[in-house]
Structure 1
Amino acid sequence: MKDWQGPAIWIYNDAMFNEHDFNALLNLHEGGKRADPTKIGKFGIGFNSCFHFTDVPSFVSGKYIQFLDPHEKFLGKQRGLQINFLENEKFRHLFKDQLTPYIGVEGCRFDQKFEGTLFRLPLRIHPSEICDEIFNTTKILNFL
Protein backbone atom coordinates (compact mmCIF):
# COMPACT_ATOMS: atom_id res chain seq x y z
CA MET A 1 0.00 0.00 0.00
CA LYS A 2 3.01 2.22 -0.56
CA ASP A 3 1.18 4.26 -3.22
CA TRP A 4 -1.32 5.38 -0.58
CA GLN A 5 1.23 7.06 1.72
CA GLY A 6 1.30 10.44 -0.05
CA PRO A 7 -0.95 13.50 0.15
CA ALA A 8 -4.47 12.95 1.43
CA ILE A 9 -7.75 14.67 2.17
CA TRP A 10 -8.52 14.67 5.91
CA ILE A 11 -12.03 14.78 7.36
CA TYR A 12 -12.67 15.09 11.10
CA ASN A 13 -15.86 14.48 13.08
CA ASP A 14 -15.98 14.93 16.86
CA ALA A 15 -18.30 11.92 17.26
CA MET A 16 -16.99 8.36 17.55
CA PHE A 17 -18.33 5.62 15.31
CA ASN A 18 -20.37 2.82 16.83
CA GLU A 19 -20.41 -0.79 15.63
CA HIS A 20 -23.31 -0.11 13.26
CA ASP A 21 -21.35 2.74 11.62
CA PHE A 22 -18.29 0.52 11.15
CA ASN A 23 -20.37 -2.25 9.60
CA ALA A 24 -22.19 0.17 7.30
CA LEU A 25 -18.90 1.25 5.73
CA LEU A 26 -17.84 -2.36 5.28
CA ASN A 27 -21.07 -2.85 3.31
CA LEU A 28 -20.96 0.33 1.22
CA HIS A 29 -22.79 -1.25 -1.69
CA GLU A 30 -25.95 -1.76 0.38
CA GLY A 31 -26.74 1.92 1.15
CA GLY A 32 -28.36 1.49 4.55
CA LYS A 33 -29.34 5.09 5.42
CA ARG A 34 -32.40 5.69 3.26
CA ALA A 35 -34.79 4.56 6.00
CA ASP A 36 -33.23 6.76 8.71
CA PRO A 37 -34.09 10.47 8.31
CA THR A 38 -31.54 11.46 10.98
CA LYS A 39 -28.51 10.24 8.99
CA ILE A 40 -26.25 12.26 6.70
CA GLY A 41 -26.03 10.75 3.22
CA LYS A 42 -29.56 9.36 3.10
CA PHE A 43 -30.45 11.26 -0.10
CA GLY A 44 -27.36 10.66 -2.19
CA ILE A 45 -24.16 8.72 -2.51
CA GLY A 46 -22.83 9.78 0.89
CA PHE A 47 -19.50 8.23 1.81
CA ASN A 48 -19.18 6.63 -1.63
CA SER A 49 -18.32 10.08 -3.00
CA CYS A 50 -14.83 9.71 -1.47
CA PHE A 51 -14.02 7.17 -4.19
CA HIS A 52 -13.83 10.05 -6.64
CA PHE A 53 -10.45 10.86 -5.01
CA THR A 54 -9.20 7.60 -3.51
CA ASP A 55 -9.41 3.82 -3.82
CA VAL A 56 -8.42 2.98 -0.24
CA PRO A 57 -9.95 5.26 2.41
CA SER A 58 -9.15 4.64 6.04
CA PHE A 59 -10.23 6.11 9.34
CA VAL A 60 -9.58 6.07 13.06
CA SER A 61 -12.40 6.17 15.59
CA GLY A 62 -12.19 5.27 19.26
CA LYS A 63 -9.79 2.32 19.58
CA TYR A 64 -10.14 1.16 15.97
CA ILE A 65 -8.55 1.85 12.63
CA GLN A 66 -10.38 0.65 9.55
CA PHE A 67 -9.15 0.29 5.97
CA LEU A 68 -11.64 -0.02 3.11
CA ASP A 69 -10.77 -1.83 -0.12
CA PRO A 70 -14.00 -2.32 -2.12
CA HIS A 71 -12.20 -3.91 -5.08
CA GLU A 72 -10.19 -6.33 -2.89
CA LYS A 73 -6.87 -5.25 -4.42
CA PHE A 74 -4.81 -4.47 -1.33
CA LEU A 75 -6.36 -6.46 1.54
CA GLY A 76 -6.69 -9.82 -0.16
CA LYS A 77 -10.27 -11.08 -0.31
CA GLN A 78 -11.48 -8.50 2.21
CA ARG A 79 -13.42 -5.37 1.34
CA GLY A 80 -12.35 -3.87 4.63
CA LEU A 81 -10.35 -4.49 7.74
CA GLN A 82 -11.04 -3.23 11.26
CA ILE A 83 -8.26 -3.43 13.85
CA ASN A 84 -8.29 -2.62 17.55
CA PHE A 85 -4.98 -0.75 17.62
CA LEU A 86 -4.92 -0.50 21.43
CA GLU A 87 -4.97 -4.28 21.87
CA ASN A 88 -2.80 -5.14 18.86
CA GLU A 89 0.76 -4.04 19.54
CA LYS A 90 2.03 -6.33 16.77
CA PHE A 91 -0.08 -4.42 14.22
CA ARG A 92 1.21 -1.07 15.53
CA HIS A 93 4.77 -2.30 15.05
CA LEU A 94 4.43 -4.14 11.71
CA PHE A 95 2.24 -1.54 10.00
CA LYS A 96 3.72 1.62 11.44
CA ASP A 97 3.77 3.12 7.92
CA GLN A 98 -0.04 2.93 7.81
CA LEU A 99 -0.39 4.68 11.18
CA THR A 100 2.29 7.37 10.84
CA PRO A 101 0.23 9.73 8.63
CA TYR A 102 -2.42 9.98 11.37
CA ILE A 103 -0.10 10.82 14.26
CA GLY A 104 -0.71 14.34 15.51
CA VAL A 105 -3.67 15.10 13.21
CA GLU A 106 -6.46 16.38 15.49
CA GLY A 107 -4.44 14.95 18.40
CA CYS A 108 -4.48 11.38 17.07
CA ARG A 109 -2.16 8.94 18.84
CA PHE A 110 -2.12 5.17 18.86
CA ASP A 111 -1.41 4.69 22.56
CA GLN A 112 -4.87 5.93 23.54
CA LYS A 113 -8.44 5.98 22.28
CA PHE A 114 -9.22 8.68 19.68
CA GLU A 115 -12.20 10.77 20.79
CA GLY A 116 -13.79 11.33 17.40
CA THR A 117 -13.51 10.01 13.86
CA LEU A 118 -10.69 10.95 11.51
CA PHE A 119 -10.91 9.94 7.86
CA ARG A 120 -7.87 9.82 5.59
CA LEU A 121 -8.50 9.79 1.83
CA PRO A 122 -5.10 9.28 0.17
CA LEU A 123 -5.08 10.83 -3.28
CA ARG A 124 -5.20 8.48 -6.26
CA ILE A 125 -1.92 8.72 -8.20
CA HIS A 126 -2.64 6.02 -10.81
CA PRO A 127 -5.81 5.29 -12.83
CA SER A 128 -7.81 2.44 -11.30
CA GLU A 129 -10.95 0.34 -11.68
CA ILE A 130 -12.84 2.83 -9.54
CA CYS A 131 -11.83 5.97 -11.42
CA ASP A 132 -9.19 6.80 -14.01
CA GLU A 133 -8.72 10.37 -12.76
CA ILE A 134 -5.54 11.02 -10.75
CA PHE A 135 -5.05 13.80 -8.21
CA ASN A 136 -2.32 15.90 -6.66
CA THR A 137 -2.40 18.63 -4.02
CA THR A 138 -2.70 21.43 -6.59
CA LYS A 139 -5.70 19.81 -8.25
CA ILE A 140 -7.43 19.37 -4.88
CA LEU A 141 -6.76 22.98 -3.86
CA ASN A 142 -8.32 24.12 -7.14
CA PHE A 143 -11.58 22.45 -6.03
CA LEU A 144 -11.69 24.84 -3.09
Structure 2
Amino acid sequence: MRKARGFTLVEVLIALAILTIAVLGVAATTALQSVGGSAGAVSFGQAAVTRGYYLSTATMLAQDRMEQVKRVQYRVGTDPFAPGNPPPGFANETPVNGFPNFDRLVTVAAGPATDTRRVTVTVAFTLPTAQGANPESINITTLVAARP
Protein backbone atom coordinates (compact mmCIF):
# COMPACT_ATOMS: atom_id res chain seq x y z
CA MET A 1 0.00 0.00 0.00
CA ARG A 2 1.20 3.49 -0.83
CA LYS A 3 1.37 6.19 1.83
CA ALA A 4 -0.59 9.32 1.04
CA ARG A 5 1.47 12.49 0.88
CA GLY A 6 0.37 16.02 1.76
CA PHE A 7 -1.83 17.58 4.40
CA THR A 8 -5.38 16.76 5.34
CA LEU A 9 -8.07 19.42 5.23
CA VAL A 10 -8.28 19.48 9.05
CA GLU A 11 -4.54 20.15 9.38
CA VAL A 12 -4.73 23.01 6.90
CA LEU A 13 -7.70 24.61 8.71
CA ILE A 14 -5.97 24.39 12.10
CA ALA A 15 -2.80 25.95 10.67
CA LEU A 16 -4.82 28.78 9.12
CA ALA A 17 -6.61 29.46 12.42
CA ILE A 18 -3.31 29.69 14.31
CA LEU A 19 -1.79 31.92 11.65
CA THR A 20 -4.85 34.23 11.67
CA ILE A 21 -4.67 34.66 15.46
CA ALA A 22 -0.96 35.49 15.28
CA VAL A 23 -1.41 38.04 12.49
CA LEU A 24 -4.33 39.73 14.27
CA GLY A 25 -2.29 39.98 17.46
CA VAL A 26 0.59 41.68 15.66
CA ALA A 27 -1.80 44.02 13.83
CA ALA A 28 -3.55 45.04 17.07
CA THR A 29 -0.23 45.78 18.79
CA THR A 30 0.96 47.86 15.84
CA ALA A 31 -2.29 49.84 15.74
CA LEU A 32 -2.14 50.60 19.46
CA GLN A 33 1.48 51.73 19.24
CA SER A 34 0.66 54.19 16.47
CA VAL A 35 -2.06 55.75 18.65
CA GLY A 36 0.46 56.48 21.39
CA GLY A 37 -0.44 54.27 24.31
CA SER A 38 0.16 55.14 27.94
CA ALA A 39 3.88 55.69 27.83
CA GLY A 40 4.09 56.80 24.23
CA ALA A 41 7.83 56.60 23.57
CA VAL A 42 8.05 53.00 24.73
CA SER A 43 6.14 50.11 23.23
CA PHE A 44 2.51 49.57 24.20
CA GLY A 45 3.40 46.43 26.17
CA GLN A 46 6.06 48.24 28.16
CA ALA A 47 3.64 51.11 28.85
CA ALA A 48 1.13 48.65 30.31
CA VAL A 49 3.81 47.06 32.50
CA THR A 50 4.97 50.48 33.71
CA ARG A 51 1.43 51.61 34.54
CA GLY A 52 0.79 48.30 36.29
CA TYR A 53 3.89 48.82 38.43
CA TYR A 54 2.78 52.31 39.44
CA LEU A 55 -0.79 51.23 40.22
CA SER A 56 0.23 48.18 42.24
CA THR A 57 2.85 50.16 44.18
CA ALA A 58 0.34 52.93 44.94
CA THR A 59 -2.25 50.37 46.07
CA MET A 60 0.28 48.66 48.34
CA LEU A 61 1.30 52.00 49.89
CA ALA A 62 -2.35 52.98 50.47
CA GLN A 63 -3.26 49.62 52.02
CA ASP A 64 -0.20 49.72 54.26
CA ARG A 65 -1.11 53.17 55.61
CA MET A 66 -4.77 52.20 56.05
CA GLU A 67 -3.79 49.19 58.16
CA GLN A 68 -1.65 51.47 60.34
CA VAL A 69 -4.53 53.93 60.75
CA LYS A 70 -6.95 51.13 61.71
CA ARG A 71 -4.71 50.22 64.65
CA VAL A 72 -5.17 53.65 66.28
CA GLN A 73 -7.34 53.37 69.40
CA TYR A 74 -10.51 55.42 68.94
CA ARG A 75 -12.66 55.42 72.06
CA VAL A 76 -15.73 57.42 72.98
CA GLY A 77 -14.51 60.64 74.61
CA THR A 78 -11.06 60.60 72.96
CA ASP A 79 -10.91 61.55 69.31
CA PRO A 80 -7.60 61.04 67.51
CA PHE A 81 -9.57 61.31 64.26
CA ALA A 82 -10.53 64.97 64.35
CA PRO A 83 -12.12 65.81 60.98
CA GLY A 84 -9.82 67.77 58.70
CA ASN A 85 -6.58 66.54 60.30
CA PRO A 86 -4.63 63.34 59.81
CA PRO A 87 -4.43 61.13 62.90
CA PRO A 88 -1.37 61.72 65.11
CA GLY A 89 1.75 60.14 63.62
CA PHE A 90 0.30 60.04 60.10
CA ALA A 91 1.46 63.31 58.61
CA ASN A 92 1.24 63.64 54.86
CA GLU A 93 4.29 62.21 53.11
CA THR A 94 5.59 64.10 50.10
CA PRO A 95 7.29 61.92 48.84
CA VAL A 96 6.87 58.57 50.57
CA ASN A 97 10.15 57.41 52.12
CA GLY A 98 11.81 55.01 49.67
CA PHE A 99 9.32 55.80 46.89
CA PRO A 100 10.32 59.17 45.40
CA ASN A 101 7.54 59.34 42.80
CA PHE A 102 4.67 58.74 45.27
CA ASP A 103 2.90 61.08 47.71
CA ARG A 104 0.66 59.72 50.50
CA LEU A 105 -2.06 61.72 52.27
CA VAL A 106 -4.48 60.76 55.05
CA THR A 107 -7.72 62.75 55.36
CA VAL A 108 -10.45 62.42 57.97
CA ALA A 109 -14.08 63.52 57.62
CA ALA A 110 -17.13 63.11 59.84
CA GLY A 111 -18.84 59.77 59.35
CA PRO A 112 -22.48 59.08 58.63
CA ALA A 113 -23.28 58.42 62.30
CA THR A 114 -22.24 59.79 65.68
CA ASP A 115 -18.73 58.74 66.78
CA THR A 116 -17.75 57.54 63.31
CA ARG A 117 -15.12 58.94 60.98
CA ARG A 118 -14.51 58.44 57.26
CA VAL A 119 -10.75 57.96 56.75
CA THR A 120 -9.34 58.20 53.23
CA VAL A 121 -5.79 57.37 52.20
CA THR A 122 -4.73 58.85 48.87
CA VAL A 123 -1.54 57.88 47.09
CA ALA A 124 -0.70 60.15 44.16
CA PHE A 125 1.97 59.45 41.57
CA THR A 126 3.18 60.80 38.25
CA LEU A 127 3.14 58.37 35.33
CA PRO A 128 5.65 59.20 32.58
CA THR A 129 4.03 59.44 29.12
CA ALA A 130 5.04 60.63 25.66
CA GLN A 131 3.14 63.88 26.29
CA GLY A 132 5.03 64.53 29.53
CA ALA A 133 3.75 63.42 32.91
CA ASN A 134 0.29 62.13 33.75
CA PRO A 135 -0.73 62.59 37.43
CA GLU A 136 -2.86 59.77 38.80
CA SER A 137 -3.95 58.64 42.26
CA ILE A 138 -5.43 55.75 44.22
CA ASN A 139 -7.96 56.31 47.04
CA ILE A 140 -8.91 53.86 49.78
CA THR A 141 -11.67 54.83 52.21
CA THR A 142 -12.94 53.16 55.37
CA LEU A 143 -15.21 54.00 58.29
CA VAL A 144 -13.79 54.02 61.81
CA ALA A 145 -16.15 53.82 64.77
CA ALA A 146 -15.42 54.74 68.37
CA ARG A 147 -15.29 51.88 70.85
CA PRO A 148 -16.96 52.24 74.24
Q: Which has the higher contact order (CA 8 A, sep 6+)?
A: 1
Verify same fold: TM over 0.5: no
TM-score under structure 2 normalisation? Answer: 0.24
TM-score under structure 1 normalisation? Answer: 0.25
Higher helix share: 2
